[in-house]
Structure 1
Amino acid sequence: MDSQTLNINKIIDEAKFSPFHWKVLFWCLLIIIFDGYDLIIYGVALPLLMEEWALTTVQAGLLASSALFGMMFGAMIFGTLSDKIGRKKTILICVGLFSSFTFFGAFAENPIQFAILRFIAGLGIGGVMPICVALTSEYAPKRIRSTLVAVMFSGYAIGGMASALLGSFLVVDYGWEVMFYIAGIPTLLLPIIWKMLPESLMYLVKEGREKDAKNIVQKLVPQESITASTVLLLDEPTKSDDAPIKALFLKNRGFTTIMFWVAFFMCLLMVYALASWLPKLMTQAGYSLGASMLFLFALNIGGMIGAIGGGVLADKFHLKPVLTVMFAAGAISLILLGYNSPQIVLYTLIGVAGATTIGSQILLYTFVAQYYPTIVRTTAMGWASGIGRIGAIVGPILTGALLTLELNHQTNFLFIAIPGVIAAIAIFLVNLNAAVDSKQAETKPITLDVPASA
């Protein structure tokens, strides 16, 4: 019996969008929604925590950074681990960490306990982001890949909106703890996620798990007859498996790797400065606590619109020019936020700021996912995200320090806008030819061949 050869890369690239794709998108989206919720609740709880524990602005900034330190290490550790043990197992570990330890945060009796719990939760929050991006990207058809990844990662903004909206209604009456109780829900969903979320097909092929791989291929191409003699072929790099971090700097990728790290650093600095301090900045400007929560809601609405809209534009044009323009527009909107404006203009500027900071963060993950080969994809995203977390750590601390200096409103927002200009320059300098050249130079077929007699 003649064997049938199927190219995995081609099958995924050319697949019709199917119920299987919906399942991958739904579960990754749901995970990222809770991930975004767990992260943003600190900004919601911050004004009350500062009163309850008599925190200075610098202390509050340091407390915010405890989760961000965890996210930095989580992105690096779990991103690399995912390339070794698979996407699915690592996602489950991360969800268990961020959900359960955020829930435990409601029972913290002092800032030290709270910081430790937020650090551990941060490991999961930071770890799950690049892995969900990788899994979605690895199953998304090529023609709509940027759009699907952006839709999935817009869950981060949806989670932030849910956190801000619930906070505006619940926190004043029930205390900040209620937000942390809600965060425990994903822990209860772990058995369902384990059953429903598929493993990466490319990982299954590389690991020789032929039965699982062929079951998924059959769902992607139901018109094909997958038999014991079917050969699954995967175009993958043959080197760097033992040293995935080193591979980020091989084949002319070194300079662009640094540019991605710079862009992540600057982008996350803006995102987390705004996520942690926007309600406080607006209350200092004279707005009520409830109204300030709605500004955070508008920021995340903009983030969702920016991510999806940017993804559609990226599929039509390219991620590089789209991201460059978005970062530049973000810097302009943040500068304008420092000036008195009518309420409709203010909400519009906050929406644009969200679209071009949160939205750009999401598209950056997409860009990195498409730039690097699969064998080091989550390593690349994990390290870019991890380096970016340094910016996320600096953002809340720097903003808290700025507030202690009692600078005017315009100066505060100007400082938050400067990283947007730097990020735009870094993305503009990304070398697209290096990705094409290195992939062509490093790839050869990997096959999963099960004899007909098996």
Structure 2
Amino acid sequence: MTTINIRDFISESGFSRFHAGMLFWACFIITFDMYDLVVYGSVLPVLMQEWSMGPVEAGAIGSYGLVGMMVGAILFGILADKFGRKRMLTISIILFSVATALCAVAPGPAVFSVLRALGGLGIGGILPSVIAMLTDYAPKNRANTLVAVVMCFFSVGGILAAFVAMVLLPAFGWQSVYVVAVVPLLFLPVMVKYFVDSPESLLEQKRFDALRSVLAKVNGQAQIPADARFTAVQGKEEGSPVGALFKNRRALGTLMIWVAFFMCLLMINGLTIWLPKLMVEVGYPLGSSLTFMIVLNVGAIVGTLVLGKLSDKWGVKRVLVPMFVVSAVSLTLLGFGTNMAILLVLVAITGATTMGAQNISYAFVSQYYPSFMRSTAIGLASGVGRMGAIVGPTFGGILLTLSLPVQMNFLFFAIPGVVAALAFLFVPLTAKKRRDGISSEAAPEEAQASAS
């Protein structure tokens, strides 16, 4: 009888066609995930005029999507570990696509707001399942790079929303921009072939044929005998995955991760909203200030890819802690810069070390916890982070009302970066995690399960 160590089998499989397909469709989903979230900004001026909305009502509708996203990340993250990632990912795609597309026929702000909130639920539910799935089946020293590539497509989704609005809005009206949201549904039958539950859940449910099938796809060169036994899969712990976040010496790590996510997304959302205004305060015209936003996002994409590669080589924590420190330093220096070239470099570094580091933080979380609770951990960290994202713009607004020197405004935005660095620094790692750079299954205590 052949015995297969599942973790070793996946780790040593190399990057296969199945991985490529999984990565492609994950990027596709994330693109439309972001498209559906930010497209509201593209049509906002038209909606305000057509529905006679004031800034307060328009802003509230915008926040409903963020609140829905926060709730969706927590809810679907927990449900994915209970009912399977493939099922919850499919439901999330249907929910955000249908709800967003129906916005095109909303008769007024009330119905539109409800649909925005429902769409946000689905949008929030995507990331916990996608990141966990990629981590479950990533080859050795590839998990952080795969997550980095996927996270870059959030920026692609934002660019797509702006481009679609530029093309369709003048010719077909704002409704056409929302109809585009049905595109993921057209490809769903193809996508689901690359959605898979974790090896742990397949083994626990005794779905041995499904497990053999997915392992054969992961490594197309390997033969999986029908009577194979599977080992090296961590057993599911007693109680709920939410409670498990605080068991087996995980409590401090969980709390520190939540602090880091809250602070980082507070810093990022506050910065992205207020950077043009802050640069105008420094003395640059609005056109130049918008250039800083472009450079910030380009820096984020490049930073995400570079930090993902470095994390696979050196370990995520060793990369994250210094990068958040660098983000605080670069943000502080922005308040003192006068030379345009130097400022653009600082903005690019800020994008790479704030947004880029935050994107890699998801890889850290996905590897810090065992597979049976991975989606729950990502969902709750993301949900707590969304609270910071909601607070960030208000935080920046309060700073500006205080009429502080512009250097102080940048300094206050830098402080959350220092707090995030300290929080990640205090996340405890076991000897195995430190040795592996948490690039493989990284629970504090390992267990094995086998089946035949």
- Length-normalised TM-score, structure 1: 0.86
% identical aligned pairs: 43
Higher mean Cα deviation, 118-127 or 347-356?
347-356
1:421 aligned counterpart, secondary structure: helix
Contact 2:367 2:442 in 1 (8 A): no
Measured at CA, do residues 45 and 430 of structure 1 come closer, stay the same or move farther in structure 2, by a change above 3 Å?
farther
Whole-Å Cα distance in 2 between the matches of residues 227 and 422 of structure 1?
Answer: 51
Q: 1:32 aligns with which of 30, 33, 52?
A: 30
Aligned equivalent of 1:8: 6
Whole-Å Cα distance in 1 between the matches of residues 124 and 232 of structure 2?
Answer: 29
Contact 1:160 1:297 in 2 (8 A): no
Contact 1:335 1:410 in 2 (8 A): yes
Whole-Å Cα distance in 2 between the matches of residues 47 and 404 of structure 1?
Answer: 25
CA shift for structure 1 position 340: 6.3
CA deviation string 1:249-290 (max 9, x = no partner): 1111111110000011111112333445556767896425xx
Number of aligned pairs?
Answer: 443
Aligned equivalent of 1:89: 87
Higher mean Cα deviation, 194-203 or 420-429?
194-203
2:418 aligned partner, one-letter code = V
Measured at CA, do residues 360 and 441 of structure 1 come closer, stay the same or move farther in structure 2, by a change above 3 Å?
closer
Higher mean Cα deviation, 102-111 or 362-371?
102-111
1:383 aligned partner, one-letter code = L
- The yes-or-no answer on 1:447 pairing with 2:450 is yes
Measured at CA, do residues 421 and 250 of structure 1 come closer, stay the same or move farther in structure 2, by a change above 3 Å?
same
Aligned equivalent of 1:417: 414
2:206 aligned counterpart, secondary structure: coil
Q: 1:214 aligns with which of 182, 200, 212?
A: 212
Whole-Å Cα distance in 2 between the matches of residues 283 and 264 of structure 1?
Answer: 29
Contact 1:61 1:400 in 2 (8 A): no
Aligned equivalent of 1:203: 201
Contact 1:6 1:232 in 2 (8 A): yes
CA deviation string 1:331-360 (max 9, x = no partner): 233334445645544443333332222212
1:446 aligned counterpart, secondary structure: coil
Contact 2:260 2:420 in 1 (8 A): yes
- The yes-or-no answer on 1:313 pairing with 2:310 is yes
Whole-Å Cα distance in 1 between the matches of residues 124 and 220 of structure 2?
Answer: 36
Q: 2:249 aligns with which of 249, 252, 257?
A: 252
Aligned equivalent of 1:333: 330
Aligned equivalent of 1:452: none
Whole-Å Cα distance in 2 between the matches of residues 337 and 166 of structure 1?
Answer: 33
Higher mean Cα deviation, 184-193 or 70-79?
184-193
1:213 aligned partner, one-letter code = L
CA deviation string 1:270-312 (max 9, x = no partner): 2333445556767896425xx7766544333222211111111
CA shift for structure 1 position 160: 2.5
CA deviation string 1:62-103 (max 9, x = no partner): 443221211111111101111111111111111122223233
Q: 1:395 aligns with which of 392, 395, 410?
A: 392
Contact 1:78 1:382 in 2 (8 A): yes
Give the gaps of 5 or more residues in structure 2.
435-440
Whole-Å Cα distance in 2 between the matches of residues 171 and 339 of structure 1?
Answer: 40
Aligned equivalent of 2:345: 348
Aligned equivalent of 2:358: 361
Whole-Å Cα distance in 2 between the matches of residues 60 and 277 of structure 1?
Answer: 18
CA shift for structure 1 position 135: 0.4
Whole-Å Cα distance in 2 between the matches of residues 21 and 137 of structure 1?
Answer: 11
Whole-Å Cα distance in 1 between the matches of residues 235 and 136 of structure 2?
Answer: 15
Higher mean Cα deviation, 10-19 or 275-284?
275-284
1:6 aligned counterpart, secondary structure: strand
Q: 2:143 aligns with which of 128, 142, 145?
A: 145
- The yes-or-no answer on 1:380 pairing with 2:377 is yes
Q: 1:191 aligns with which of 189, 195, 202?
A: 189
Measured at CA, do residues 359 and 110 of structure 1 come closer, stay the same or move farther in structure 2, by a change above 3 Å?
farther
Higher mean Cα deviation, 364-373 or 102-111?
102-111
1:103 aligned partner, one-letter code = A
Measured at CA, do residues 145 and 337 of structure 1 come closer, stay the same or move farther in structure 2, by a change above 3 Å?
same
Measured at CA, do residues 293 and 78 of structure 1 come closer, stay the same or move farther in structure 2, by a change above 3 Å?
farther
Whole-Å Cα distance in 2 between the matches of residues 85 and 345 of structure 1?
Answer: 51
Higher mean Cα deviation, 130-139 or 26-35?
26-35
Whole-Å Cα distance in 1 between the matches of residues 166 and 293 of structure 2?
Answer: 10
1:12 aligned counterpart, secondary structure: helix
Give the gaps of 5 or more residues in structure 1.
450-454
Aligned equivalent of 1:237: 235
Measured at CA, do residues 81 and 395 of structure 1 come closer, stay the same or move farther in structure 2, by a change above 3 Å?
same
Measured at CA, do residues 125 and 119 of structure 1 come closer, stay the same or move farther in structure 2, by a change above 3 Å?
same
Measured at CA, do residues 276 and 54 of structure 1 come closer, stay the same or move farther in structure 2, by a change above 3 Å?
farther
Aligned equivalent of 1:300: 297
Aligned equivalent of 2:156: 158
1:444 aligned partner, one-letter code = A
Whole-Å Cα distance in 1 between the matches of residues 16 and 176 of structure 2?
Answer: 38
CA deviation string 1:421-443 (max 9, x = no partner): 21111111111128859967643
Q: 1:431 aligns with which of 424, 428, 432?
A: 428
Aligned equivalent of 1:74: 72
Query: Equivalent residues in 2 for 1:267-282 (5 A)?
Result: 267-276=264-273
Aligned equivalent of 1:287: 286
Whole-Å Cα distance in 2 between the matches of residues 408 and 42 of structure 1?
Answer: 33
Higher mean Cα deviation, 428-437 or 298-307?
428-437
1:447 aligned partner, one-letter code = S
Contact 1:97 1:121 in 2 (8 A): yes
